[in-house]
Structure 1
Amino acid sequence: MRIKLLIADDNSFIREGMKIILTTYGEFEVLETVSDGKEAVDYCRSHEVDIALIDVRMPNMNGVEATKLLTETTKTKPVILTTFDDDEYILDAIKNGAKGYLLKNTDPERIRDALKSVYFGNTVMQDVVLEKIKANMTHTTHKTKVDTSLFTEREMDIMALIAKGFSNKAISKELFISEGTVANYITSILNKTGLEHRTQIAIYYLTGSVV
């Protein structure tokens, strides 16, 4: 069974080029290419699409708005594919349900691997994107807007370290607890907030909002 894709980009050269590249891999079937976010949402609402590759800046409806609607009204998993790595777009896209954020100059093999990973339930962020998020979090973590009454002191410590980009292993060393205990705390945080993954925890710690 092949992964069904939609490509949304207002640049015909980009979207057709991406279609040609992805079609060379046997795992994918590009069902359609469209030129704006509204067309992407309309198509995914009426067809079974596994993943929508979406540009950020498009007419009629941008990629962030399309991501929000796709997440709310379809089973399609949105992945942002763009040349723009602005912090604002990164945060907004993730908060609105994007399952990945990739730059267009990414090697095709990495895009292939990322799409397969998203299909199987993971969230994929390129290193350059994660670094921007971490830098943003690092400067603002001491001003968290989270309601601290909802969490234990240890959970707050772990959220702060996640926001700084610490891995589970690094958190375990920092707090002198086992990686299994870290994982249990993270599961508790996810259950309390309704979030799905670590990147969303970092954003929640920054904004105080569950989106």
Structure 2
Amino acid sequence: MIKLIIVDDDVLIRESLKIIIGIDNEIEVVKALENGKECIDFLSENEVDVVLLDMRMPVMDGTEVLEEISKKNIKVKVLILTTFDEEKLISSAIKHKTSGYLLKSSKPEKIISGIKSVYLGNGVFESDIVSKLVVGSSNKNDKSDDEGLNIYGLTDREKDIVRLISKGLSNKEIANKLFLSEGTIKNHITSILSKMDLKHRTQIAIEYLNSKIH
């Protein structure tokens, strides 16, 4: 059973999510909270698997919650669910290794699926979110790309693969483009994930595109 808390300042959204998600027999909504401070206080005293977190809230917003979770080293996965898709908020979520970022316009089944996916260690990112980062980064040149990647100690081949991942290419497509086997590409991606301290492929693209913006 996945232990979940919902954190949203809108009581109607909060309670609606509690009812909708609570129907699923694999998820237990243990608490619905209205601000970030309540979230951190609850996490400090209770074990939770996943936090479904809004970004814009009074008292303590989503960014501050992510900072506190990191600072206190709280072992919990966070799935952002918000109506906002501004680059600044996306950047903050990625910076703190958020497991996913969905918009409230998502269908209930997508949110429930996202919770389960995040619980299993996978990433869930709205396609519109990634597209926004791609558009925002389009004016940067290759030199700035390299500067953003150099901090991770990646090899030239690994940098090439990161760029191709960020363009949406599959492992097979990358292998064909670089004249390498799929197995070799998978090995490189494993190395990239380790060096960038990330958990899944999608985060490589978002982290890279985010660095181009900033």
Give your verdict on TM over 0.5.
Answer: yes
Cα deviation per residue 1:107-162 (whole Å; 9 max; x = unaligned)? 11111111111111111112222222333344436222232793322111111112
CA distance in 2, matches of 1:13, 1:80: 18
Counterpart secondary structure, 1:191: helix
SS of equivalent residue, structure 1 residue 106? coil
For structure 1, the 5+ residue unaligned runs are none
What's the C-alpha RMSD, in Å, of the aligned pairs?
2.1
Matches for 1:163-202 after TM superposition, within 5 Å = 163-202=166-205
Q: Indicate which of 128, 132, 154 corresponds to 2:157.
A: 154
Q: Gapped runs of 5+ residues in structure 2?
A: none
The question of whether the paired residues in 2 share the 8 Å contact of 1:7 and 1:19 is answered with: yes
| Structure 2 Cα separation of the partners of residues 83 and 99 of structure 1 | 17
Change (3 A) 1:129 1:185: same
- 1:139-187, CA deviations, whole angstroms, 9 ceiling, x for partnerless residues? 4362222327933221111111122232222212221212211111111
Structure 2 letter corresponding to 1:36: N
- CA gap 1:20/1:206 in 2 versus in 1, 3 angstroms: closer
Q: Is the 8 A contact 1:12 1:35 kept in 2?
A: yes
CA displacement, residues 43-68 of structure 1 (integer Å, 9 cap, x when unaligned): 11211111111101011211122123
Tell me the residue number matched to 1:132. 132
1:23 correspondence with 2:22 = yes
User: Percent of aligned positions with the same letter in both sequences?
Assistant: 45
- Aligned residue for 1:150, secondary structure, equals coil
Q: Secondary structure at the match of 1:121?
A: coil
Q: Against the structure 1 CA distance between its residues 21 and 155, is the aligned structure 2 distance closer, same or farther, given a 3 Å change threshold? A: same
Report the CA distance shift for 1:148/1:55 in structure 2 as closer, same or farther (over 3 A): closer
Alpha-carbon shift at residue 38 of structure 1 (Å): 1.5
* Bigger shift: residues 170-179 or 75-84: 170-179
- Matches of 1:141 and 1:174, distance apart in 2: 21
Q: What TM-score do you get using the length of structure 2 for normalisation?
A: 0.88
Instruction: Give the conservation status (yes or no) of the 8 Å contact 1:137–1:163.
Output: no
Equivalent position amino acid for 1:147 in 2 = N
1:55 aligns with 54
Distance 2:157 2:34 in 1: 47
Taking the aligned partners of 1:86 and 1:66, their CA distance within structure 2 comes to 18
CA–CA distance in structure 2, aligned partners of residues 149 and 87 of structure 1 = 22
TM-score (norm 1): 0.89
Q: CA deviation at 1:205?
A: 3.5
